[in-house]
Every structure is written in structure tokens, then in C-alpha cells.
Structure 1
Amino acid sequence: METSLMRLIHEPAQTHLRVVREADSPESASFVFEEAAPSTSRAFIEANTLAVGFSELRHEHIIPVFAKDNERTLSMADFIQVTSEAVRDVFRGEQILTPQIRVSHVIKGRIPEAKDKPASQLLDWEQTVRFERMMFAIEVPTLFETVGGNTLTLVIGGVKAYNLDNLTGRKCPEHFKVFVGFKNLVCTNLAIRTDGLLGDLRVSSLEQLRQGVLTLLREYDQHRHLRQLEALTRYSLTEHQFAQLIGRCRMYQHLSTAAKQRIPALLYGDQQLGTVVRDYYRDENFCREEDGSINLWKFYNLFTEANKSSYIDTFLPKSINALDFTFQVQDALDGSTAGSWYLS
């Protein structure tokens, strides 16, 4: 497939992201997103997450510190700001939509003056709040391609989970996850490849974070990713093969550790596999054909759809696993021993 990802929608490109500097340091910059062009409102992750705006995250959520020296962490708003600036630098001239932000695991508090009040009587200004985990996605709609009849647009984002940091000690490098891949507009499923993920970026400053994001964006091979996704449309499973594969997937979770080491890993449990089976019959975009067969592009999207029920801190590993697992099935259909256990 000779991809045409870099063709532009035939209208002037607009940037819906602007920065207003209030000081020289990135930490004190005021970052403004145009409200007129948000990314798709449908959630790319569901589970126990809530949608928040950047302004709320910046101005209303407190920032955790390292307990032993009271040094501040790099905030979630800082993370979104630095990533957005890097996206604007790399994809200069493209339309860049405002980030879609999802948070989970709320941690509540109160100001000292309200320490003796019953919770039901607390006023809004007497309460403090922050979230332990956050995921965001920034869509670049002028960079797109069609695969299997679905429009895919380039998307960049990240995950911050404070539970991965040792906040009880002194200030040390913090953990971040950054990704680049494609969003399926018909369902908002995210397609992420191994080279499109920095799964354990550890940094101590915003500049280190910025450089990590820039390196990922410049090294990501978007054309190869699209060719691999398009190839999935040319492979199909029969109804019998699909049933055999799902049965093996359920068995995999109960294998011994030694046995699992000889088989391609699968991170999806029974509940998400149940979602895959349900959608095999019912999903309006990716269900089976009349004869029961399903191509691997649709099969892959059944898994990425099921992944929306994952928690924020496990979402990206499972997203990568969905693609790797589908490639293993593709290899098995080609006669390779890789992934053949699932179809045997």
C-alpha cells in the first residue's frame, strides 16, 4: 500500500492551539486552548474516567509534592502543555485540535479552616481535589488515511499516573507515558504500535519531557504503521477459527508461567474477551460477515473497543498487545508457528 497520509484536507489548515507566555519559564506559561475545535467528544477510554477541561486541570486541581522535601511534581497540566507545544512544532501548519482529557482515581481534601466541618456542609472553595491518573489525546485531523473503509487520523497523547512515582520520598525522576498513533473516527478506537509508545519515560524537568516527546514524534514511522494496518484487511478468520481462538484466549489466562512463555502474550481477561464475542455478533462497524467470517482489521478493532474498559494505567500496554496479538494471528494464517497455538 502506498500510503497518502500526508495529503491535506482541501481547505486552509488552522491551528486551534495557542500559547500566551506570561514569563520566560515553561512552568509559568499560560496555555490557552480554543474552545471552538475540541477533539472528538466521544471517549477514547471509558472505565472509571471523567472528562475534564485543561483550564480546570490547571487552576482547580492541586499538585502533589514529594513528601520528604516538599518539592513539587511535574503537573498533569504541564505535561499536556509541553506535549501540545511539541506537536505544534513537529506538525507545523496542520490543524491541531484541543486535547481530550480523562482522569480517574480522585483524591479529595479540604482547607485547614474547614477541618471541623461535616463533609455535607463543605463549600466548593473549602474543598481540594486532584486525580491520581490522567490520559489525554490530541487529534491532528489534516493527517489522515482510510483503512478498511474507516477514516484514521493521527493522534498524540500521554498518560500520567502518580501511583507509579514514589511521592513518599525525596524528589526523583517521574514516570510518564507518551504515544502517537491513529484514531479510528467511526469508533474513536486508538491504534498504537510499539514504536509509537514511550511506555516508561522518566524525567526530572519539563525540558527533558519535551525532548522525549519530540524524539518519539520524529522517530515514529507512521507510513509503516498504516501499511501494517491495511494488510490486516486482507486476512480473515472463519467462524470456526474465531471460536477456536476465543476459547484458547480464555484458556491462556490459566496456563502455567512456563507454558505462557512459549505462547504470544495476551493481556485481555475474561470480561474483555466477553465484550469481543458480544461485538463479534452485534457491533455495527466490526461485526462478522453473514457467513460468520471476520477480517483481521475488524478483529483488531473488537479488541481495541474492549480496551476502552481498561484503567488508565493499563490502557496503553493493552493497546500495544492488541496489535501485536493480531499480527501473531496474521502470521499463523500465513503458516508461521507464531500464534499457531491459538488456532490449533
Structure 2
Amino acid sequence: MFVKDNEPLISQADFIQVTAEAVRDVFRGEQILTPQIRCSHAIKGRVPEAKDKPAAQLQDWERTLYYERMMFCIEIPTLFEQVGGNQLTLVVGGVKSFNLDNLWNKKGSPEHFKVFVGFKNMVCTNLCVRTDGLLGDFRVSSLEQLRQGVLQLLRSYDEHRHLRQLEALTRYSLTEHQFAQLIGRCRMYQHLPTAAKQRIPALLYGDQQLGTVVRDYYRDENFCRDNDGSINLWKFYNLFTEANKSSYIDTFLPKSINALDFTFQVQDALDGNNARNWYLS
């Protein structure tokens, strides 16, 4: 892809390739699967040599097609663990949205990338991402800067701590009454005055996705409530990561992080460390 003066940008293909090379470097000897890629928002363009031609006169070889938004995942199936009876496997991936870049700016302007490492729940393909496994607004001007940033993220990510935190969620449960109260507060949060919201931990899920959480509380084959109406926090967390599948590529990763942070806040409240948790008060 090119900006107005035909300066080349870092392509989505180069982004995937650089990340895959970093994964092979950091996880030597492990089985690494082919990247899975999803694209959206097709943009029709042209090769630089045809920049002054009328659209009707373009030949097929002069036409180009790229996608404004792309997300990919690289699974490492030999790195896995069991949590709550579900197998989790390590995944690395990224998001590139050209709409976040100022393509009409001066040459050399940093481009935006999102890179993550976490676990995929194999029973449902829900993605579990932790704060230290995400570069949410990574800005670089070259492939080498991109490569070094991905390597640093992969080497600093503490997968064992992440797994311990996820496993701990299986030991905490909400009663049906607590779940109902919490969901009610979640729906109220979206309509609070701005000043009140600033005093409460943020929740990025709107009414439609909260409705999905409630529906799956009753119906989900893997994460529904127990017979007495209670639900452990591992299942509760997965209700949110399941609802997150309806998010746009741009907001998917921030909401994934928010789901885990929000669940940790509920865990702290149940543990007595956060007695003033607004959602359960």
C-alpha cells in the first residue's frame, strides 16, 4: 500500500511474516501452525504507475485490492494447559487497521500496530489475553522496529503467571443473586453520568453483548450456570470472551483485556479485598 506520494507502508503481509519469524525465534522446537487470517473493509486501489489514470481506463493489472483491517493468530499447540476442564493453547497474533494511520502525513510517520500473546480456549476458541501480553498501540516506522517490539513482547510475557491467574478463577463463584445484581449494574454503568463513571472500573461491553452473556448463562454448553444457579468466575469470564466475538477487529483486543480485568475485580470483591466494588454493592 502507498500514501499519496507513493511512499510504501508496512504491509499486512510483512506484519504477519515478521511476527511469525519472531514466534519461531522465541519458541524454537515447538510446533507452530500456519497463521489464521481474517480481513474486512475491502479497499480498491491502483498501482503507483497508474495514479493519474481515470478509473475507467485502468487495466486489470493496474488494479489493486487491500483490506483496511486485518487480524491474525498463530497457534502453538505444543504449549498447552488445562484450566477448568478446558485445554488452552498458546497463541500469538496481531491487528493492523490502516484507518488508525494518518496516511496523508509526512514521510516516516509511525504506523499503528496491535500485537498480542495469550491463550485460546480450544473448546470454544475464546481468546484469553492479559495486559502484559498486549501491545495495544504499538507505533513503528520500520520492519526492524516492528520485529524488535514483537520479540520484546514475547520474551517478557509471563505465560505461567497468566495460567495461574486463570486457574484461580475456577475457585471463586457467584450466586445467582450476585450474578443478577452484577449484570444489572453492568447495564446501569453505560448510562451513568460521566463524573460517576470516573469513580468506577470501566466496562467496555454494551447492552447487546451483556444480553449475550445473560443468554449464555442459561444456554451455553460449556459455560452455563450450575444447577443451583451459581457460576464460577472461569465460566463467567468465558461468557464475556464469547460475547466479545461480535466486536469489531478494532475493539476486540481492548475488550478482551477488559473482560479479564473486570473478572479480576469481581474476584477481589469476593475475596474481601475490594469491599466497595460498585458492581456487587
| TM-score (normalizing by structure 1) | 0.77
Residues 74 and 205, structure 1, Cα contact 8 Å, conserved in 2? yes
Cα root mean square deviation, aligned: 1.8
Cα gap change, 1:168/1:331 in structure 2, threshold over 3 Å: closer, same or farther?
A: same
Output the CA distance in 1 between the equivalents of 2:68 and 2:115. 17
Report deviation, 1:334: 1.1
Report deviation, 1:200: 1.2
Paired residue secondary structure (1:82): helix
Candidates 85, 90, 93, aligned match of 1:149? 85
Q: Deviations over 1:181-212 (max 9, x none)?
A: 00000001110000000111111111110000
Output the CA distance in 1 between the equivalents of 2:260 and 2:190. 18
Report deviation, 1:336: 2.6
2:256 alignment partner AA: S
* Residue in 1 that maps onto 2:176: 239
Output the CA distance in 2 between the equivalents of 1:197 and 1:110. 34
1:235 alignment partner AA: Y
* Residue in 2 that maps onto 1:86: 22
* Residue in 2 that maps onto 1:116: 56
Report deviation, 1:126: 6.9
Candidates 292, 304, 312, aligned match of 2:249? 312
Report deviation, 1:124: 7.0
Report deviation, 1:290: 0.9
Report deviation, 1:170: 1.9
* Residue in 1 that maps onto 2:277: 340
Gapped regions of structure 1 (runs ≥ 5): 1-62
Residues 157 and 178, structure 1, Cα contact 8 Å, conserved in 2? yes
Q: Deviations over 1:96-136 (max 9, x none)?
A: 0000001111112468688338xxxx997675311111110
Q: Does 1:266 pair with 2:203?
A: yes
Report deviation, 1:299: 0.3
Paired residue secondary structure (1:336): coil
Q: Deviations over 1:242-291 (max 9, x none)?
A: 11000000000011111111111100000100111111111101011111
* Residue in 1 that maps onto 2:38: 102
* Residue in 2 that maps onto 1:16: none
Gapped regions of structure 2 (runs ≥ 5): none
* Residue in 2 that maps onto 1:36: none
* Residue in 1 that maps onto 2:221: 284
Q: Does 1:184 pair with 2:121?
A: yes
Aligned length: 276
